[in-house]
């Protein structure tokens, strides 16, 4: 029987627990959870069999999964590798990778660690947000695989297979740069669309009355947890700031055309943006995102 220690029993860690349970894998699931309400809820929902203090939970583990905010991963990871038994494998599910890899690059147990990022989630958080099948068919990025031992990679890939993830490999900096544009910028655009509309429409009844499915879809990510996202933005500030600059430039160009009544140019920009359709259709067909 394998023991999985899941640090952080919210949306990300809790969903992994649900899938391990579902597949009937003979597993003992231990949670580590600072938030007492979340700990109680994770036990009630039977996401984990026990909630234990970190050192005790790690001492028993075959696999340790880090599913906490990325700044917390960065701080905890070196100490965790110090604690971890020689045959255990540590996997993180953080949305940034450079600083996490940097934090343990000279650690004597670096080979026991696999840096991963499954591209999956929802706008909800906490143990109650945990979903069976959250990872099914989604993409997963492993960074700096050459620094993980073959054994650690095997153990990690076994878990990723169980979750239904499709894994590709990338260097950490390359990963952070691309996710800044494709994932993190989407979140910023949505957070600030929500904030702008709330700031301007003091009477929320108007939002209620005039919002259609388009607004709901575009602003969905504005409901995401700041506890999870503030650390991601902080860690990926360099690339995200570049992405934001590009986005703002595009918006300013659009605004200029609008003010100059240059509808032909507006039309052309929208026509080009339409090219996202075949790319997204490819994504849907490839089932990397739903």
Where in 88-147 is the site for a copy of itself (CB under 8 A)?
119-123, 138-139, 141
Distance CA 280, CA 284 (A): 6
Closest to a copy of itself by CB, 54 vs 247, is 247
Per-residue contact string for residues 166-195; x = within reach of a copy of itself by CB under 8 A = --x---------xx-xxx-xxxxxxxxxxx
Binding residues among 207-236 for a copy of itself as defined by CB under 8 A: 207-224, 226, 229-231, 233-234
Q: How near is the Cβ of 7 to a copy of itself at its closest, in Å?
A: 21
Interface with a copy of itself includes 241 (CB under 8 A)?
A: yes
Binders of a copy of itself: how many residues, by CB under 8 A? 95
Residue tagged 């945990």 (tokens): 130
Closest to a copy of itself by CB, 26 vs 199, is 199
Interface with a copy of itself includes 287 (CB under 8 A)?
A: no
Interface with a copy of itself includes 254 (CB under 8 A)?
A: yes
Closest alpha carbon to 114 in 78, 148, 75:
148
Distance CA 47, CA 67 (A): 14
Closest alpha carbon to 227 in 11, 78, 2, 4:
11
Closest to a copy of itself by CB, 90 vs 180, is 180
Interface with a copy of itself includes 32 (CB under 8 A)?
A: no
Interface with a copy of itself includes 53 (CB under 8 A)?
A: no
Site stretch for a copy of itself (CB under 8 A), options 7-15, 54-62, 103-111, 247-255: 247-255
């Amino acid at each position: 029987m394998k023991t999985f220690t899941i640090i952080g029993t919210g949306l990300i860690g809790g969903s992994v627990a649900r899938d391990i349970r579902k597949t009937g894998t003979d597993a003992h699931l231990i949670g580590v959870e600072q938030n007492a309400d979340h700990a109680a809820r994770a036990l009630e929902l039977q996401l984990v069999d026990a909630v234990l203090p970190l050192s005790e939970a790690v001492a028993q583990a075959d696999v340790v999964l880090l599913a906490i905010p990325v700044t917390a991963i960065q701080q905890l990871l070196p100490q965790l590798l110090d604690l971890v038994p020689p045959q255990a494998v540590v996997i993180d599910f953080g949305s940034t990778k450079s600083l996490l890899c940097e934090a343990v690059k000279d650690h004597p147990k670096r080979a026991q660690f696999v840096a991963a990022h499954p591209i999956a989630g929802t706008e909800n958080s906490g143990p109650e947000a945990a979903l069976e099948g959250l990872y099914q068919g989604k993409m997963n990025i492993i960074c700096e695989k050459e620094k993980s031992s073959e054994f650690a990679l095997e153990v990690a890939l076994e878990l990723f297979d169980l979750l239904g993830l499709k894994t590709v490999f990338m260097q950490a900096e390359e990963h952070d740069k691309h996710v800044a544009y494709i994932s993190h910028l989407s979140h910023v655009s949505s957070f600030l669309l929500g904030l702008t509309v709330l700031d301007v429409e003091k009477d929320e009844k108007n939002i209620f009355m005039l919002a259609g499915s388009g607004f709901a879809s575009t602003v969905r990510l504005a409901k995401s947890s700041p506890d999870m996202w503030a650390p991601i933005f902080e860690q990926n500030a360099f690339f995200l700031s570049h992405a934001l600059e590009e986005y703002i430039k595009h918006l300013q160009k659009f605004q200029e055309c609008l003010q100059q009544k240059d509808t032909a140019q507006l039309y052309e920009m929208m026509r080009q943006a339409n090219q996202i359709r075949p790319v997204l259709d490819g994504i849907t067909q490839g089932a990397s995102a739903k």
